[in-house]
């Protein structure tokens, strides 16, 4: 629970000889890759090996890998060393993609020093979001950096007919080590260029500025310059430099349009016996402490102690969805507290991991021998509020409403029709590159006892056409 900001950054997916490969670095543990014949799985995962067959379990030091297989069957991996110089290195790989041929675990594990492994292909610090492509006879290397003379963040594209570049005399480059002094620290942004099934080219990118939704993602049309063969991102003005169009261009082909109604966020009535992929566990779930089958039609979360008592960020049983920024959002959750135990708290939260939070919950008091539940609003700003639960009531509707700028308020209802506000306004926030997560949670710092049963989760948002529920 102390690994915020230490997850997976900028992985890459490629296909070679009928197999999909995903390469990624777990920030604190090292190099990994996963393979599958079908994108839907099953997937197998294993550590990448160094030139001597040792598992590259290193951390933190390297990040943002991307593989490429050339037409002659050779394999390469570009990846940045994220401490010290922070340069991108191009490694030769075995043809099956499981081993670096010019990388040594011992020297690659040295933190804060210049690495002599692989070949440095760009001596500018903070080269991130690395991507390698092969288009129309050219190798293209995409990376993100900051211009040395300004604080401008952007993506930069280099190309050559040779994977190690072309020397000034026209000869192909080759694997070399050419150390250079690090440049001044810079901050990057990230993105990639892709072609869909209809032959349309697009640039998908994230903003470097965090909002309550995390890093905003944009989809930008791409045209190819007929004169120099470089892609132009965005609008194509007279001077040939692409300009972003934030008005939202329509996907032109039917295959693209058919996916528009599918969102990664949305509601759930928990009738399935398997958890919908739109959900994620904030922490590694404990076996036996959640279920979709013990009470059919409900998600059951069982309560146990917080890792650090009184610290909401150390709540272990927490299921989350991403916050979807729009003109407004409305989330309605129906919860049964019939199986709560003394000392248990459970409900719905907006949560900037490790930073701030606000939640509306059911509280079963520890010292109340009549086990009379209360409603409790709490936030990191310590603006707590309570409400009484009618005698005999065993379920409640919690509602959260937020506007575009992230001002959020909770309310509750015992009949699903009339809602009463509780608590103060909370400003949605992000932290450690994560958005303001929407969480279902429960804990009990008195004992490991009690269960929260979630009947339904409704998620609605407004993109200018009224509130629509996904």
Tens-digit pLDDT profile for residues 68-110: 999 888 999 999 988 766 788 999 999 999 999 999 999 888 8
- Choose among 223, 323, 328, 308: nearest CA to 266: 323
- Choose among 331, 325, 323: nearest CA to 462: 325
How high is the pLDDT of residue 150? 57
Residue 97 gets the label, from left (phi > 0), alpha (psi -120 to 50) or beta, of left
How high is the pLDDT of residue 262? 67
How high is the pLDDT of residue 470? 78
How high is the pLDDT of residue 177? 41
Assigned token pair, 9: 């950054």
> Coil, helix or strand for 98?
coil
pTM of the model: 0.80
Q: Where in the chain is CATH 2.115.10.20?
A: 12-188
Residue 382 gets the label, from left (phi > 0), alpha (psi -120 to 50) or beta, of left
Assigned token pair, 335: 């919860």
Q: In angstroms, rounded to a whole number, what is the distance separating the alpha carbons of residues 152 and 382?
A: 39
CATH fold of the domain at 12-188: Tachylectin-2; Chain A (2.115.10)
CA 65 to chain centre: 16
How high is the pLDDT of residue 383? 72
Apex CA 292: angle with CA 331 and CA 259, to 5°?
A: 55
Q: Give 388's DSSP letter.
A: E
Q: What is the CATH number of domain 280-469?
A: 2.60.120.200
Q: In angstroms, rounded to a whole number, what is the distance separating the alpha carbons of residues 13 and 57?
A: 20
Q: In angstroms, rounded to a whole number, what is the distance separating the alpha carbons of residues 220 and 330?
A: 28
Q: In angstroms, rounded to a whole number, what is the distance separating the alpha carbons of residues 416 and 431?
A: 33
Assigned token pair, 182: 């690090």
Q: Please list the ranges in the chain whose pLDDT falls under 50.
A: 176-188, 246, 256-260
Q: Where in the chain is CATH 2.60.120.200?
A: 280-469
How high is the pLDDT of residue 180? 34
| pLDDT tens, position by position, 251-296 | 556 554 444 456 778 899 999 999 999 999 988 899 999 999 999 9
Apex CA 61: angle with CA 58 and CA 63, to 5°?
A: 100
Asked if residues 448 and 306 have their Cβ atoms less than 8 Å apart, the reply is: no
- Choose among 124, 21, 149, 129: nearest CA to 75: 21
Q: Which residues contact 72 (CB under 8 A, 6 or more apart)?
A: none
């Amino acid at each position: 629970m102390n690994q915020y900001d230490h997850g997976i950054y900028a992985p890459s997916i490629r296909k070679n000889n009928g197999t999909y490969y995903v390469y990624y670095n777990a920030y604190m543990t090292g190099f990994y890759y996963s393979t599958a014949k079908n994108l839907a799985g099953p997937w197998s995962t294993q550590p990448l090996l160094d030139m001597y067959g040792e598992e590259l379990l290193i951390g933190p030091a390297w990040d943002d890998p991307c593989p490429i297989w050339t037409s002659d069957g050779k394999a390469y991996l570009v990846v940045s060393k994220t401490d010290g110089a922070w340069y991108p290195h191009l490694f030769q790989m075995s043809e099956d993609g499981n081993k670096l041929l010019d990388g040594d675990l011992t020297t690659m594990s040295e933190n804060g020093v210049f690495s002599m492994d692989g070949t440095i292909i760009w001596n500018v610090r903070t080269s991130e979001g690395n991507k390698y492509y092969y288009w129309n006879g050219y190798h293209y290397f995409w990376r993100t950096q900051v211009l040395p003379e300004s604080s401008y963040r952007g993506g930069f594209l280099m190309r050559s007919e040779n994977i190690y570049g072309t020397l000034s005399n026209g000869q192909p480059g080759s694997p070399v080590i050419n150390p250079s002094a690090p440049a001044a620290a810079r901050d990057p942004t990230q993105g990639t260029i892709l072609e869909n099934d209809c032959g349309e080219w697009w640039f998908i990118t994230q903003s470097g500025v965090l909002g309550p939704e995390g890093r905003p993602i944009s989809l930008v049309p791409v045209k190819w310059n007929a004169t120099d063969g470089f892609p132009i991102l965005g609008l194509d003005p007279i001077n040939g430099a692409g300009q972003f169009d934030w008005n939202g261009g329509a996907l032109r082909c039917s295959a693209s349009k058919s996916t528009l109604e599918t969102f990664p966020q949305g509601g759930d009535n928990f009738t399935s016996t398997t958890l919908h992929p739109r959900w994620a566990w904030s922490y590694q779930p404990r076996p036996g402490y959640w279920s979709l089958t013990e009470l059919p039609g409900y998600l059951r979360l069982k309560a146990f102690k917080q890792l650090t008592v009184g610290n909401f960020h150390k709540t272990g049983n927490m299921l989350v969805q991403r916050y979807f920024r729009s003109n407004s959002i409305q989330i309605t959750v129906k919860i049964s507290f019939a199986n709560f135990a003394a000392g248990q708290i459970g409900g719905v939260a907006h949560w900037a991991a490790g930073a701030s939070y606000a939640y509306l919950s059911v509280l079963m008091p520890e010292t109340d021998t009549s086990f009379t539940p209360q409603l409790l609003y709490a936030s990191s700003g310590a603006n707590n509020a309570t409400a009484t639960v009618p005698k005999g009531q065993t379920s409640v509707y919690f509602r959260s409403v937020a506007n575009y700028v992230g001002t959020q308020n909770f309310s509750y209802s015992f009949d699903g029709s009339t809602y009463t506000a509780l608590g103060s306004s909370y400003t949605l926030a992000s932290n450690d590159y994560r958005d303001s997560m929407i969480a279902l949670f429960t804990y009990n710092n008195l004992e490991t006892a009690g269960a929260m049963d979630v009947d339904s989760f409704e998620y609605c948002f407004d993109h200018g056409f009224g509130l629509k529920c996904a």
